[in-house]
Structure 1
């Protein structure tokens, strides 16, 4: 069953009204439980969409999704088995693009408790240009939104804060749940650390051990990475190793790919956004990432 909330009777029904947008966002948050993410609380009160009748067709004044105070439960098995939900040009036909904008977009989870671990996250973007996409999926019209390049007007900020212990525990919870539907496989342990070296250099190390029928496998992966203030990540060294013979053999293709990463840089903002004033604080077992963003 297609759970996408914005099915259209005609192309003229998209972009939708503020009420229809809000109803769809609430439904996405509620239906997330069927896909492995259960969010507690009154979700209808967490979503606010405002639009003026005097603005052009595709413009929305404000979209706010604030689930602060919620408790979130994760089901790794359902997450692993969830099918594709969001319409995308890679698989679906674009029928029409309608240019538009969101005057202010705010996403907040400050804090939320995920499987007993506190996480804080906030994103605020102003003057966000976008394309409202009318698409055809499985013979039916659906509405969604995609990035709109060229205007360069959007700007905003973001902040994510938690502990490294919480990240490891959540990763173990998700992966162990995903392993439940793999016959004969069982996750035994996961470990990870992020250690600061100077103002912008980090050593990231992680390991996992699992069992497949009667065989045990383990892997350790490490990397030295610089996160520059402009949001560019540069890999200085990346390795993979194991003490188990079978694991070493399985890692041979991966080790070559990791070595090829040395010296390469990647923009963390992707194609749509440029980042600036990015700061990663991994001291004392914490992990805090802050920065600003703007349209490319």
Structure 2
């Protein structure tokens, strides 16, 4: 196929390119992306508006064959044969809400004045996806880009998410998690407190355990675990939890810079980051 140097062309061309990128791959299998609504308006090298609306969409994660993924090397990036400087005036992502694995998540995000380079490759980057002969690169490290986002989820829906993260850690110590209930509350102006109660089984012994975590979130994107406690009234279960407790206590006081990962990946920088907890857990920030 002959490379098309007129990329982005029109809004329909941009939409087809995005649709091609939303197709499941061996590394990222997500069910339901075809239901996401996309609109675009383009003029020359300026994408005036890109709107992505996932409201009412049901997304599910499909199982990944780890062995197959390891045996299949990642495809290389084709040679770039044409570049055109341009700008994306407005990108809007709305989900009011989207359901991810049954959990309702509300998202409202905007980015404005994004400097880009419109790329044309010598051949499509994905086999059988001719639209992927096109690509986009962030130009000038995103200078002048700005925006904001708000993401919220019902606090009562956090239990399944936390359970999926905690279960592998406990299983590695021989502890099996049977149930988990969590409560998230505000802890000062810049922090949240997470209280959790769980039913666990260690060998033939069933018992309950509880944990409390205090997390501080600064406006400039620094997340610090201030305190973390796990325990049980059952002395035998406490013995089993010792290995877990030692590993988590090593994390107390450590800080994680969200902007370090975002900016190293070419993404925008977070400012005015806020986390509030009540009936909903809401995260909001400005982007620059």
Contact 1:217 1:247 in 2 (8 A): no
How far residue 289 of structure 1 moved from its aligned partner, in angstroms, is: 1.6
CA distance in 1 between partners of 2:202 and 2:123 (Å) = 42
2:157 aligns with 166
How far residue 259 of structure 1 moved from its aligned partner, in angstroms, is: 3.8
Match of 2:243, SS state, is: helix
From 16, 22, 27, the counterpart of 2:15: 22
How far residue 121 of structure 1 moved from its aligned partner, in angstroms, is: 0.6
Query: What does the per-residue CA deviation read over 1:201-257, in whole Å, with 9 as the maximum and x for residues that have no partner?
Result: 22245577777997989987654322223333233335666735455336645543x
Question: TM-score of the superposition, structure 1-length normalised?
Answer: 0.66
Question: TM-score of the superposition, structure 2-length normalised?
Answer: 0.68
For the pair 1:67 / 2:61, whether they are aligned, the reply is no
CA distance in 1 between partners of 2:137 and 2:178 (Å) = 40
For the pair 1:288 / 2:272, whether they are aligned, the reply is no
User: Could you say what the CA RMSD is over the residues aligned between the two structures, in angstroms?
Assistant: 4.7
Which blocks of at least 5 consecutive residues in structure 1 are unaligned? 1-8, 179-184
How far residue 200 of structure 1 moved from its aligned partner, in angstroms, is: 1.0
For the pair 1:279 / 2:274, whether they are aligned, the reply is yes
From 79, 91, 99, the counterpart of 1:95: 79
From 115, 118, 134, the counterpart of 1:129: 115
Matches within 5 A, 1:71-150: 72-75=58-61, 78=63, 83=69, 92-93=76-77, 95-96=79-80, 98=83, 99-132=85-118, 134=121, 143-150=134-141
CA distance in 2 between partners of 1:278 and 1:241 (Å) = 32
CA distance in 1 between partners of 2:211 and 2:77 (Å) = 40
CA distance in 1 between partners of 2:136 and 2:208 (Å) = 42
CA distance in 1 between partners of 2:149 and 2:138 (Å) = 18
How far residue 120 of structure 1 moved from its aligned partner, in angstroms, is: 1.0
Match of 2:56, SS state, is: coil
Contact 2:184 2:195 in 1 (8 A): yes
Contact 2:111 2:148 in 1 (8 A): yes
1:38 aligns with 31
CA distance in 1 between partners of 2:228 and 2:106 (Å) = 29
Match of 1:68, SS state, is: coil
Contact 1:280 1:290 in 2 (8 A): yes
CA distance in 2 between partners of 1:224 and 1:117 (Å) = 24
1:157 aligns with 148
Match of 1:167, SS state, is: helix
CA distance in 1 between partners of 2:244 and 2:277 (Å) = 31
